[in-house]
Amino acid sequence: MHKVAAALAALVTAVVAGLVAIPLVIGGDSPPTAAASVCATGDSDAILATIRDRESGGDYHEASHARAAGYPTGSGNPTGAYQFLYATWAGYGGYREAYLAPAAVQDARARHDVITILATFGTVDWVPIVWYIGAGGARDVRAGKIGLDDVPNPAYNTISIGGYQARWLDAYQRITSSGDPTTTTTADAANVTTLPTAPGVATTTTIDATSTCAAAAIVDGDALPLPRTILDANPERLAAPHHDYPAIDLPASVGTPVYAIHAGVVTHITSYHDNCYTDTATCGDLCGVGISITDPDGTTWIYCHASQLDLTVGAAITAGQQIMLSGNSGHSSGPHLHVGIRVGGVDHCPQPLLTALYKTGRAVPANELPASGCTYTAATSS
Ligand SMILES: [Zn+2]
């Protein structure tokens, strides 16, 4: 199954940028979704195995079929087990083409993309659509601008979007029901030992595969900001006071996905990657790498100390959408996520909202949150 569209470029940044909240509607030949099983343990392994199965037959060395199929050489060529385009892969660093990267590197990159797709589109049946025609194309499908019967890039493809999705989901069901997502163990091992390592390769991001569950846990229009598996380790933390003004700090290791609690539009981005305690005597930005999302009521939702953030001002964000990876940038004494909620310019306490979301599955409107009582010391302006 090597009918790969050349529209996979800029996959992740395209996935998270400019999303609008359009009801999830798939018509025609869409098979029933497997959404309910997205949270099952190991599902992201099964998803990765399905992509490998469909795209390259599990061949991490795959570099030839795109050329044989007549793709122009250069940025449009897909290679590797997941058929990343040159142009997409180039942004990841370290290897000229995906097929030159060890299997573990290709796997880590693909897993990150899959989690992002699930956080953005919600259900597993969107993974093949995004993989086939890119995130922008998937949004056009959702908006009804492109039909599932359309064949993208017909010079190189013969299968429709819906046809690809149906075959992909068939393979996914087969792999899931067989209970063995590892279809290419021997080839994987051979790749790791025989492929050259390139200097300067980016360290692989650690992503909790079970985080797709938290991304889907949207209640009352709000979502928890971290994977539930991380919050489970210390739920009391959701009620812990902040140091000296209403907000909350939640421990999270570097690379943990962070989800928007509430929908809105990106109104501010900070991009200070250093740590103010260890890297520099002068702190460039207390928030480090961070983002402000303003909702239609004018409430601003603030997230700080990220390690990676690819959004831009003006992007529309849905609740539960992955917005960044947590980190230790800015005024941060250890890896954690800072969350602030500013109603009418006044800091309010996130603790009652987060505790309610976690324990009862019910949200609390931001304007009903207290503006004091959640700090270790008397509130001061920040
Ligand atoms: Zn804080």
Beta-carbon count within 10 A of 196 CB: 8
Alpha-carbon distance of 190 to 342, in angstroms, equals 53
Alpha-carbon distance of 377 to 229, in angstroms, equals 30
- pLDDT, position 65: 64
Compute, in angstroms, the gap from residue 301 CA to the centroid of ligand 1.
Answer: 13
Q: What is the pLDDT of residues 104-159, one digit of tens each?
A: 778 877 877 787 777 677 678 888 999 999 888 998 988 889 999 999 888 778 89
Compute, in angstroms, the gap from residue 219 CA to the centroid of ligand 1.
Answer: 25
What amino acid occupies position 9?
Answer: A
Cβ(161)–Cβ(129) below 8 Å: yes
Compute, in angstroms, the gap from residue 246 CA to the centroid of ligand 1.
Answer: 9
Cβ(73)–Cβ(11) below 8 Å: no
Q: What is the pLDDT of residues 315-346, one digit of tens each?
A: 988 888 889 999 999 999 899 999 999 999 99
Cβ(187)–Cβ(178) below 8 Å: no
- pLDDT, position 76: 65
* Higher-confidence position of 126 and 291: 291
pTM of the model: 0.48
Q: What is the pLDDT of residues 173-213, one digit of tens each?
A: 888 777 666 544 333 333 332 223 332 322 232 333 333 33
Alpha-carbon distance of 185 to 128, in angstroms, equals 23
Compute, in angstroms, the gap from residue 254 CA to the centroid of ligand 1.
Answer: 16
Compute, in angstroms, the gap from residue 222 CA to the centroid of ligand 1.
Answer: 21
Q: Determine the length of the chain.
A: 382
What the chain holds in terms of domains, given with CATH numbers, is: 11-194 (no CATH), 213-368 (2.70.70.10)
- pLDDT, position 97: 80
Compute, in angstroms, the gap from residue 339 CA to the centroid of ligand 1.
Answer: 7
Of the pLDDT bands very low, low, confident and very high (cuts 50, 70, 90), residue 13 is very low
By DSSP bridging, strand 248-251 and strand 257-259 are unpaired
Query: What percent of the chain clears pLDDT 90, i.e. is strictly above it?
Result: 32
Compute, in angstroms, the gap from residue 237 CA to the centroid of ligand 1.
Answer: 13
